[in-house]
Amino acid sequence: MREVNNFIAGCFQPSQSGRTFDKRSPINNQVIATIAEADRSDVDQAVAAARAALKGEWGQLSADQRVAMLYEVADEITRRFDDFVEAEMADTGQPEHVMKHVFIPRGAANFKIFADVIKNVASESFRMATPDGLGALNYSLRVPKGVIGVISPWNAPFMLMTWKVGPALACGNTVVVKPSEETPLTAALLGEVMNKVGVPAGVYNVVNGFGPDSAGAFVTEHPEVDAITFTGETRTGTAIMKAAAEGTRDVSFEMGGKNAGIIFADCDFDKAVDGIFRSAFLNTGQVCLGTERLYVERPIFDKFVSALKAKAEAVKYGSPLDHATNFGPLISREHQQKVLSYYKKAEQEGATVVTGGGIPDMPPELAEGNWVQPTIWTGLADDAAVCTEEIFGPCCHIRPFDSESEVVALANNTNYGLATTIWTTNLSRAHRLAEQVEVGITWINSWFLRDLRTPFGGSKQSGIGREGGVHSLEFYTETRNVCIKL
């Protein structure tokens, strides 16, 4: 049985209250770790440590020295690659190949990507005229914003946590991380890495716990936390924004989505089916960028539904260590019950259940896990709950359409605006729709393909701000102007 303590000022320590909570495996719901739950005094200590590091050794390092240290962090993650893979599998229950080829490599890469960004970013300078004819020179400086509160999610915990920690540290900030209570293991491992490579104590801190009246609220309400970055559901983001209003602190949010997939009859059919299968069912549908609403042009509607059904029915459930497994459990029993409630609601609203809709038969050693079937519906009205509310599970509703204008209206008929994927071989059409669909990111004939230098974020209720490349620097730094009279 693992014991996971908070990581504060370079040391692992239990909660000052002595409170703990259990971490259960998604594959069988057995307790696999005991986690120290940070109380307010623990968070106070973590924030104080972050503030001291900001004013101390970390704050004295040059950008080149920080860059070199972040490269060492990435290299040490790679050296301990198997440890991170094992911890992430234990936390999420997802297949080993997903961890080895997507989430853990990206987590390590985030440190090098943002180290390179800060090393190569340019500053502005302007020569201006003055009445005496001698002029003045203006130039800009980027300085760290301060202590950053990082509230990270459970669906891709290491990748999404380092997506925030990487740029925060590259810019010279310090962080207090509150990982999801469902996935605390890799955040703790990263503390070991920080110590190993000599990152000064207090630069990276981890406090474990829940949201309201626990570590999450204690971090976001703390007056010495200068800015808050959050990935998670929209309701939680709203609560965090209210807390951040005290002291007018800056926020960066990537929140919910009810993303559309648009498939035209002229698409490369096999590639479209494969791409939509990934976008609907990767990580058991627990992907903020996933597609729970599919719109298929009428001439290929029946063929597409049949092909996607066949792929959904061919998934292999099982232990994440089994190389044949390509479909894992949901993160928790609570989330399983939420997803199953939508499965039931879809039937009550009159959906045609193309496939799935329940819990698969599992062997005895896995029967208590948080399993659900990949599920496809047709036949619902556009205002049905499963067509408008984010489910965050392996499911999608498929609806036919007849024209570009119709499908654009359907895709935009949502409170969210995170992402969409469009499948067509007509390049002119692709450009037209990409401009009209109200989302932060549009994929054409692909999904989940990203250059990490590009802007990432959502519109409407899907988020505030942009992350990625130099766009992250807008949040993690303050820009100052210096004016020199010549």
Are 193 and 115 in contact by the 8 Å Cβ rule? The answer is no
Are 9 and 202 in contact by the 8 Å Cβ rule? The answer is yes
DSSP-assigned letter for residue 322: S
- Of 288, 387, 395, 396, the active-site residue reads 288
Burial of 57 (0-12, 13-18, 19+ CB in 10 A): middle
User: Cβ of 458: how many Cβ atoms within 10 Å?
Assistant: 27
Q: Which two tokens stand for residue 126?
A: 């302007």
Strands 375-378 vs 459-460: parallel, antiparallel or unpaired: unpaired
Is position 254 annotated as part of the catalytic site?
yes
Taking the CA atoms of the chain, what radius of gyration do you get in angstroms?
23
- Of 182, 254, 297, 467, the active-site residue reads 254
Are 378 and 351 in contact by the 8 Å Cβ rule? The answer is yes
Distance CA 65, CA 111 (A): 14
Token look-up 């370079």 returns 10
SS3 161: helix
Token look-up 């570009």 returns 404
**Contact residues for 372 (Cβ-Cβ < 8 A; gap 6+):** 284, 329, 330, 336, 339, 340, 343, 356, 358, 359, 360, 393, 394
Residues facing 484 on adjacent strands: 137
Q: How many CA atoms lie within 13 A of 406 on its CB side?
A: 12
Burial of 10 (0-12, 13-18, 19+ CB in 10 A): middle
The identity of residue 221, as a single letter, is E
| Catalytically annotated residues | 254, 288
